[in-house]
Amino acid sequence: MIETLLADPENEGNALRHPLAELYEEYRSLLYQIDRITRISDRYQNVSREEKDALAGRYNKQLRQLEKIARISDRYQSMMRDLNEALKDASTKDALTGIGNRRMLMESLKAETARAERLERPLTIVLIDVDRFKSVNDLYGHEAGDKVLVRIANAIRSGVRDYDLCGRWGGEEFMVIMPEVPADEGAVVVERMREAIAGIDMVADDKSVQISASFGIAERRPGERISDTINRADAALFDAKRNGRNRYEIAA
């Protein structure tokens, strides 16, 4: 419309023609600039959207990787915990019977002796030896012998009180450590244990296996080295064997 007015030769002499032409020129220049700015802004928005999408993608990928690493680390930690537990068990438990092993007994003896000495409290040690175990092995085989040891270990474990400690001293020998207990009190627990072992009902080759054990009890003397207390318990055990087995003797 304006272009037609400006192009019309009839308006050549019109005083308003020149200002109108200038205004129109300015208007076109502004239009061009607005168009350019809009295009730049559109391009910028596209670039920033693409960058945002790429960033979100990278962020999600890293998040997934982190989650994966956390899962692996959790699994690894729980594996280490199980392994540590298994190692601790292997170093302190007897593989056959599941009760404490000699190492655990030695460590407990050391700790309990120190405690008994420091607090001037009684400490009683019991050595247990299965009777005529060789003939159990000879008659029913080594596997049946192993089963007997497991049953005896269970009877000992069930027989001790909460604060007593028990373990396999070696072969067919077991030990019970009784802190805070004098020998005569320990003997009451031992007698119940003896009965429980003698009452084990086990059958091998369709025959009933006779099971019993002998016990040597020794109360630690003040200032006595624990190896000497063990030796006295061993001597008492020897007496119990000599006096007919399936019984206990208290060390002098």
Ligand X SMILES: Nc1nc2c(ncn2[C@@H]2O[C@H](COP(=O)(O)OP(=O)(O)OP(=O)(O)O)[C@@H](O)[C@H]2O)c(=O)[nH]1
Summarize as ranges the residues that interact with ligand X (CB under 6 A): 96, 129-134, 137, 142, 145-146, 149, 171-172, 241, 245
Torsion, Cα 162 165 167 173, to 10 degrees, reads -110
**Closer CB to ligand X, residue 17 or residue 241?**
241
Return the SS3 of 100.
strand
User: Shortest distance, CB of residue 145 to ligand X, whole angstroms?
Assistant: 3
DSSP assignment of 42-70:
HHHHHHHHHHHHHHHHHHHHHHHHHHHHH
Q: Closest separation between CB of residue 204 and ligand X, Å? A: 12
Cβ at position 178, least distance to ligand X in Å: 23
Smaller CB distance to ligand X: residue 112 or 172?
172
Can you say how many angstroms the Cα of residue 108 is from the centroid of all Cα atoms in its chain?
22
Catalytic residue among 112, 172, 219, 249: 172
Q: 113: helix, coil or strand? A: helix
Q: Which is nearer to ligand X, 192 or 245 (CB)?
A: 245
For ligand X, the closer of residues 28 and 142 by Cβ is 142
Min CB(185)–ligand X separation in Å: 26
Residue number with the smallest Cβ distance to ligand X = 145
The residues with which 174 forms a beta bridge, in sequence order, are 128, 168
Is 172 considered catalytic here?
Answer: yes
- Strands (DSSP E) along the chain, which ranges? 123-130, 165-170, 173-179, 202-204, 207-209, 213-219, 248-250
DSSP 3-state percent helix, strand, coil across the chain (nearest 5): 65, 15, 20
- The residue among 171 and 199 lying less far from ligand X, judged by its C-beta, is 171
Question: Packing angle between helix 142-159 and helix 133-140, nearest 10 degrees?
Answer: 140
Q: Smallest distance, Å, CB 203 to ligand X?
A: 17
Active-site residues, by number, are 172
